[in-house]
Amino acid sequence: MQKKNIVILISGQGSNMQAIVRAAQAQRWSQRHGAQVLGVVSNKAASAGLAWAREQGLATAVVEHAAYPTREAFDAELVRAIDALDPQTPPALVVLAGFMRILTPDFVDHYTGRLVNIHPSLLPAFAGLHTHRRAIEAGCKFAGATVHRVTAELDHGEFLDQAVVPVLPGDTPDTLAARVLTQEHLIYPRAIERLLAPAV
């Protein structure tokens, strides 16, 4: 079976990353799909998720965006850091999990067909930031999350999975975000596993 490396990109707590790593272990992706979470890359050295990844024995790398003069220079270093995790085997999937940087077309091109993201809204509604506040302010009765392939256009690309939650009376952006996040932890590993499974 061909080895399939997964690299996860984070900026913060990395709860989606944790859900993916746990699913990979519990569902034996290594034996079933030849897939492993190879490593985690963050644009912030202080990301809580990085410490957790290190505790799991995963390879980690930090590429601080603030250290680069342009988006292009940052993204070029990011590609280098991702691909250096296993110089012999390019990643089969690069998984954006709360990675809060807009990526350049060059980065997206480099990983065409291998790049996925989770966005905390029911796309195509509420691309961009502050999705939960915007859903509440718009009077939405439902909110949710979308796993999608990444294209050069922000929060576009083929939808791979979605989950819906109710917006409840009295919800704040934080209470709604927490409800959505519980669903993100289900749909993101599920969508990734579907991509790893050989077509029948």
Reading the block at residue 188, the tokens are: 């993101």
97 makes contact with ligand GAR (CB under 6 A): yes
- With CB under 6 A as the contact rule, the residue among 24, 184, 192, 195 that binds ligand GAR is 184
Spatial CB neighbours of 191, under 8 Å, sequence gap ≥ 6: 116, 147, 160, 161
Segment 122-181, which members bind ligand GAR (CB under 6 A)?
Answer: 145, 181
Point out which span in 10-18, 37-45, 56-64, 108-116 binds ligand GAR (CB under 6 A). 10-18
Q: How far is the CB of 199 from ligand GAR (least distance, A)?
A: 27
Closest CA to 8 of 84, 61, 64, 87: 61
Spatial CB neighbours of 150, under 8 Å, sequence gap ≥ 6: 96, 103, 108, 111, 115, 116, 117, 157
Q: What is the DSSP letter of 103?
A: P
* Phi, psi values for residue 110, rounded to 5°: -60, -35
Give dist(CA 63, CA 45) in Å, integer: 8
- With CB under 6 A as the contact rule, the residue among 5, 16, 43, 183 that binds ligand GAR is 16
- Give the CB-nearest residue to ligand GAR: 98
- With CB under 6 A as the contact rule, the residue among 5, 6, 15, 29 that binds ligand GAR is 15
Bridge pairing between strands 115-119 and 93-96:
parallel
**Which is nearer to ligand GAR, 34 or 151 (by Cβ)?**
151
13 makes contact with ligand GAR (CB under 6 A): yes
Q: How far is the CB of 68 from ligand GAR (least distance, A)?
A: 20
Spatial CB neighbours of 21, under 8 Å, sequence gap ≥ 6: 8, 37, 53, 56, 58
Point out which span in 5-13, 29-37, 67-75, 87-95 binds ligand GAR (CB under 6 A). 5-13
**Which is nearer to ligand GAR, 39 or 120 (by Cβ)?**
120
50: number of Cβ within 10 Å? 23
Q: Which residues are the active-site residues?
A: 119
Point out which span in 37-45, 69-77, 113-121, 133-141 binds ligand GAR (CB under 6 A). 113-121
Sites of contact with ligand GAR (CB under 6 A): 10, 12-16, 97-98, 118-120, 145, 181, 184
